[in-house]
Chain A
């Protein structure tokens, strides 16, 4: 059951993924968030990026709680090997040993062995890092935080922070990205302005009451024969965050109104952004034929739930 929607189907819990959809195009928001249409191939990137982020998050958590770094690396590699094996499950959903097979993502770079390689290379690349995990008021390390923050008008903001770190006396959120693109200044400039990074900063400041300055982005370029890493930063001032908050509330209210009215106008100016919207082919058809085109190229997946802990 998706808990981010009220009994009338209006979304009240919002993460950066759903805010971005509402900002981009209300028709796309309907297809993805409300109806649950997704491309079959998207799961490759979600799974690869998800296991990678989990591995690094758990590594830093192990180390923050005192585990030796080699033991922590061993633990997360073993965990990632299991997470990339498709076991048959028992009644309780637990993997049954000696069943199943290795995950085959059908992708040229986002493969199982490249994932394991990238985890190991990342940890070794940043082994002598000057970043220190921030300790919260109760003394616990600020690692692996899922936050749900009630804001105005019954709306809840949600996000998951990998870790909060102290970088040269700046308190920053850490985030991991994987990409096939070459890492350059242009790659990192795409994160300002950016709703996800603004929300991370906002949530760090508001929910955790820590004077977060912005986000450190550790990006991994995944290639056939190597993984390369670059670190970028994006900062947000208080006035930028205030502006982002007001704009975001506007977009949320607009999406909620659209849901109540069952009217989701397309933003035709965004169809060509980022190489073209995935639904462009569908939207180019006459409305009465769109469902058939959706069924042909997309699958009805479990709807994205911003309140679900990942």
Chain B
């Protein structure tokens, strides 16, 4: 069984059906955890927060 990080680093044209199923299963598990309240939004580290603040000031962020 491959680690999901390793699957994401692999050429996707080489992924098997089992690999895709493993990715889906991993995210379904994460969703279950989130719905149970075991996952929080996540906190940005200080460096990322500063970069985001700068991007905000530069009006770089848009949504589609």
* Residues of A bordering B, CB below 8 Å: 39, 41-42, 45-46, 48-50, 73-74, 77-78, 81-82, 84-85, 95, 97-100, 102, 108, 112-113, 116-117, 120-121, 124, 177-181, 223-226, 275-278, 280
Contact = CB atoms under 8 A, between A and B. Distances in A.
B15 A78 contact: yes
B39 A226 contact: yes
Contacts of A82: 12-13
B21 to A, nearest CB: 7
Interface residues of B, number: 33
8 contacts: A41-B60, A81-B12, A82-B12, A97-B14, A121-B31, A124-B31, A225-B39, A225-B41
Nearest to A49: B64
B44 A224 contact: yes
Contacts of B12: 78, 81-82, 84-85
Contacts of A226: 34, 39, 41-42
A205 to B, nearest CB: 25
A124 B13 CA distance: 25
Given A42-B62, A225-B41, 12 more contacts: A41-B55, A45-B62, A81-B12, A81-B20, A95-B13, A108-B48, A113-B8, A116-B27, A177-B63, A180-B61, A225-B42, A226-B39
B17 interface: yes
Contacts, number: 93
A42 B64 CA distance: 10
Given A77-B23, A102-B8, A45 B41 contact: no
Given A73-B24, A225-B41, A81 B15 contact: yes
A124 B20 CA distance: 16
Contact of A98 (B14, B20, B63): B14
A102 B10 CA distance: 8
A88 B21 CA distance: 26
B64 A74 contact: no
A179 B63 CA distance: 5
Contact of A178 (B14, B21, B40, B63): B63
A74 B20 contact: yes
Ranked 8 nearest A-B pairs via Cβ: A224-B42, A49-B64, A225-B42, A81-B12, A179-B63, A120-B27, A41-B60, A82-B12
A83 to B, nearest CB: 9
Given A77-B20, A95-B13, A226-B39, A39 B64 contact: no
A227 to B, nearest CB: 9
B40 A225 contact: yes
A105 B21 CA distance: 25
